[in-house]
Amino acid sequence: MSQFPLFTSLFSPDSIAMHDPRIDQLAKQLVRYSTQTKKGDNVLIDLFDVPEAVGIALIREVRAAKGTPFVNVHQAKISREMGRGATEDQYAIIAKNAMHQMKTMDCYIAIRGSHNVNEMADVPAKKMQMLSTKMRPVLNQRVNKTRWCVLRWPHASMAQSAGMSTEAFEDFYFRVCLLDYGKLKRGMNALETLMTKTKNVHIKGPGTDLKFSIKDIPAIACGGNHNIPDGECFTAPVKDSVEGVISYNAPSIYQGIAFDNVKLEFEKGKIVKASANNTKAINKIFDTDPGARYIGEFAIGFNPEIKQPMRDILFDEKIAGSFHFTPGQAYEVADNGNRSSVHWDLVNIQRPDYGGGEIYFDGKLIRKNGQFVLKNLEMLNY
């Protein structure tokens, strides 16, 4: 920590900026709009390395909505230490207790900060896989049985990953998170309808030629209800239908490991070859369980305020002109039957500055170089 700070910001826990009214605005959006908290609701607030003022604002807003707040507080360094010595018996008890808590909740709000995005990097891969497997039922309960919303908190490490100053990133964060998602609703609904009717998808681009079916699997438009920031429409491919190759051009972090230049090849839905800057590590992840080598989600991103990747999936998967193609667990609301402890949203950006590309639905061009070409979808263009 510098002894001579040039200015204070939201990244400093005891900063005067903690009284920034945007924190209260964000809390109100999460409680009133995203989770639609109402009288009598039990609301679990999960806080990971965030300033106290954020938790206080959420508690007050839940109470104002006549709900009852419950709070879990986490610290990454402590989670790392727990993970390094984790045992199956220990996490069976932790998962049992967490499940009991989750089953009593109506709503769930998680704000996840990270002073160091690589904090878990030296937790052994087998330990991370065990933790993921043990906690997966709790995650499924939260996703399928509560009204939930998850977002990041803008620590300095995020600004560094985004290549921005702390002050500029702080302004970007609130601009993105407080976006008026209602303005995108008509276009999102049109895309949801189109994807639900579509049978076959073909995606082309540099290093990518991918074909699969989404027949009879629902599409879900997302506009600030589950993730902040938001701006995507997702479905899932028919599990054994994926054929071809995809080269992801957005960097990613998974289980504390940084990955670049990820390339996957598919036969009958299965990842038969995977390579990256760390090919050994990526194949260990895909060998976690049988479902990890199949795709659980296909989604198109269109948040107009997010243009560049920052190794943070809650932002990167919404990048304007992108899509993500996700190895692992499918969501039950758009289910292809794939089950896994892995769910890894890997992103491909198709704007011209990233090499371009096309998406075809049933042989018809839908998006070219990141821009929708159909009239009723144009409002989703960046």
Question: Which domains does the chain possess?
Answer: 16-177 (3.40.1830.10), 181-380 (no CATH)
pLDDT at 12 (0 to 100): 45
Residue 374 pLDDT greater than 50, yes or no: yes
Confidence of residue 7 (pLDDT cuts 50, 70, 90): very low
Q: Diameter of the chain by CA atoms?
A: 61
Which pTM does this prediction carry?
0.76
Confidence of residue 57 (pLDDT cuts 50, 70, 90): very high
Confidence of residue 181 (pLDDT cuts 50, 70, 90): confident
Q: Over the chain, what is the mean pLDDT?
A: 92
Confidence of residue 18 (pLDDT cuts 50, 70, 90): low
DSSP state letter for 308: S
Q: pLDDT (tens digit, 9 = 90+) per residue, 317-343?
A: 999 999 999 999 999 899 999 999 999
pLDDT at 163 (0 to 100): 85
Radius of gyration for the alpha carbons in the chain, expressed in angstroms and rounded: 20
Residue 264 pLDDT greater than 90, yes or no: yes
Tracing tokens 């390339």 back to the chain, one arrives at 263
The mean pLDDT value for 267-293 works out to 97
Q: Across the strands, what pairs with 270? A: 267
The mean pLDDT value for 124-129 works out to 91
Find out whether 67 and 107 touch, Cβ atoms under 8 Å. yes
Give, in degrees to the nearest 5, the angle at Cα 220 between 249 and 382.
50
Give, in degrees to the nearest 5, the angle at Cα 280 between 274 and 285.
70
Phi, psi of 328 (to 5 degrees): 110, -150
Distance CA 274, CA 210 (A): 15
Instruction: Tell me if residue 60 falls in helix, strand or coil.
Output: helix
Cα–chain center distance at 72: 20
Q: Within 13 Å, how many C-alpha atoms sit on residue 382's CB side?
A: 24
- Which residues lie below 8 Å from residue 15, measured CB to CB, with a gap of 6+? 8, 9
Confidence of residue 312 (pLDDT cuts 50, 70, 90): confident
In terms of C-beta distances under 8 Å and separation of at least 24 residues, what long-range contacts does 94-102 make, across chains too? 94/134, 94/135, 95/134, 95/135, 95/137, 95/138, 98/135, 98/138, 99/137, 99/138, 99/141, 101/44, 101/70, 102/44, 102/138, 102/141, 102/142, 102/145, 102/146
Token pair of 289 as six digits? 């369980």
Find out whether 11 and 76 touch, Cβ atoms under 8 Å. no
Find out whether 42 and 108 touch, Cβ atoms under 8 Å. no
Distances (CA, A) of 338 to 146, 220, 298: 21, 17, 13
pLDDT at 155 (0 to 100): 85
Confidence of residue 10 (pLDDT cuts 50, 70, 90): very low
The mean pLDDT value for 118-147 works out to 92
The mean pLDDT value for 304-313 works out to 90
pLDDT at 11 (0 to 100): 45
